[in-house]
Amino acid sequence: NQRILLASRPEGRPALENFKIETVPVAEPGEGEVLLKILYLSLDPYMRGRMSNARSYAQPVAIGDVMEGGTVGRVVRSRHAGFAEGDIVLSHSGWQSYAVARGDHLRKLDPAAAPISTALGVLGMPGFTAYSGLLTIGQPKPGETVVVAAASGAVGSAVGQIAKIKGARAVGIAGGPEKCAFARNELGFDAVIDHRAPDIAAQLAAACPGGIDVYFENVGGDIFAAVFPLLNKFARIPVCGLIAQYNDTGPRPAPDRLPGFMREVLSRSLLIRGFIQREFADQRPAFYEEMAAWIASGQVRYREDIVDGLESAPEAFFGLLEGRNFGKLVIRVAE
């Protein structure tokens, strides 16, 4: 079993030395467990948080433990009545090529219904994040303007398309001309802005002539600063992620903007609410049903960025934090 451990905690940007790759014997499943051959490993921004000791909504990975992560695997040995050899399942087995998992922690996948890797993306945790955060907190109405950054990515691409399904105008922000063209032409965003352009505040204002009613916050940092002046009265801001800040080591030197920010929250009656997708777990059955139908009808499209080989995971993960991925980032661990 090849596996990747957390070797040390990064200060700022993570590096190869923070990981250790090793090979150990494959474990045997006990009663109620299955042995999985891992086929796909999901790489997600939250993993940066698990590498760190900073206070968070979840425990960090311990030094010397296998890095955490969602996986799709094939059952190679089963000691659980609900699973047979050959079944394809969703598990949370982390960065390794084989894993023992408890049967009651698994979700069986139907390979005939959708490509199995989508259980880590549009039909999995990121898609559900978009669905639950946008609909529960953002509540887009017909004719309103919804803005989302990382618009070509796993979460952002679904946010924009669900906003369109609900009759809203979708404005995306993405890094570089290729991602912008994809979001406009393939995903159907009404307008897309490149955040690497120097005048993003002016471009965003031009793309949102009626202001912004929902800002789905994926990145934080400079993009939020450009969005904030455009927020309409009663705007809703689901705070999903702050990827632009994940490698920060402390507060940035800047004037204290908090009092001015709070004044605007008050005078414009803004709703700002953070969330972690699993808080909306009771919506998952509705999500699986609706999202599968939207994909089947072509109303939701998705793009995957598949990288081969478990040993590629650290480099691919660094790329995710810098926008080098193009679509949902997945490691193909085995065929």
Pick between residue 232 and residue 247 the one whose CB is nearest to ligand NDP: 247
Q: Please report how the helices 284-296 and 125-132 are oriented relative to each other, as an axis angle in degrees rounded to 10.
A: 100
d(CA 235, CA 79): 52
Total binding residues toward ligand NDP, as defined by CB under 6 A: 33
* Sequence-separated (6 or more) residues with CB below 8 Å from residue 199: none
Q: Smallest gap, in angstroms, from Cβ of residue 46 to ligand NDP? A: 5
CB of 126 to ligand NDP, least distance (A): 5
Piece of the chain touching ligand NDP by CB under 6 A; list 26-34, 76-84, 184-192, 321-329: 321-329
> CB of residue 27 vs ligand NDP: minimum separation in angstroms?
29
Q: Identify any residues that bridge with 84 across adjacent strands, giving them in sequence order.
A: none
Of the candidates 36, 47, 99, 320, which one interacts with ligand NDP according to CB under 6 A? 320
Question: What minimum distance in Å lies between the beta carbon of 143 and ligand NDP?
Answer: 26
In angstroms, the Cα distances linking 158 to 96, 148, 150, 173 are 28, 10, 11, 13
Please check whether residue 68 is in contact with residue 61, taking contact to mean a CB–CB distance below 8 angstroms: yes
Pairing of strands 304-308, 212-216: unpaired
Footprint (CB under 6 A) of ligand NDP, residues 108-137: 126, 129
**Which of 98, 182 has the CB closer to ligand NDP?**
182
Show contacts with ligand NDP in window 71-100 (CB under 6 A): none
User: Which residues ranging from 270 to 299 are in contact with ligand NDP (CB under 6 A)?
Assistant: 275-277
Query: Residue 330: beta bridge partners?
Result: 42, 306
* Sign of the Cα pseudo-torsion (278, 140, 124, 32, in order): positive
Q: Which residue, 84 or 286, has its beta carbon nearer to ligand NDP?
A: 286
35 vs 148 by CB, closer to ligand NDP: 148
**Least distance between ligand NDP and beta carbon 194 (Å):** 9
| Percentages of the chain per state (helix, strand, coil), in multiples of 5 | 35, 25, 40
Distance CA 279, CA 121 (A): 18
CA separation for the pair 232, 213 (Å, rounded): 6
Q: Which residue, 233 or 324, has its beta carbon nearer to ligand NDP?
A: 324
> Which helix (H) or strand (E) segment is 283 a member of?
none
Pair 7, 300: CB distance under 8 Å: no
Question: Is the Cβ of residue 66 or residue 155 nearer to ligand NDP in the bound state?
Answer: 155
Question: Least CB distance from residue 229 to ligand NDP, whole Å?
Answer: 18
**Sites for ligand NDP among residues 142-201 (CB under 6 A):** 149-150, 152-156, 174-175, 179, 195
Nearer to ligand NDP, 126 or 314 (CB): 126
Bridge partners, residue 184, by sequence: none
Task: Determine, following the binding rule CB under 6 A, whether residue 325 of this chain makes contact with ligand NDP.
Answer: yes
Q: How far is the CB of 335 from ligand NDP (least distance, A)?
A: 24
Least separation in angstroms between residue 290's CB and ligand NDP is: 18
For ligand NDP, which stretch binds (CB under 6 A), given 8-16, 38-46, 95-103, 202-210? 38-46
Nearest to 20 by CA among 67, 87, 70: 67
Distance CA 277, CA 239 (A): 11
CA angle 57, 62, 68 (to 5 degrees): 65
Chain residues that interact with ligand NDP, rule: CB under 6 A: 44-46, 126, 129, 149-150, 152-156, 174-175, 179, 195, 218-219, 221, 223, 240-241, 243-244, 275-277, 320-323, 325, 328
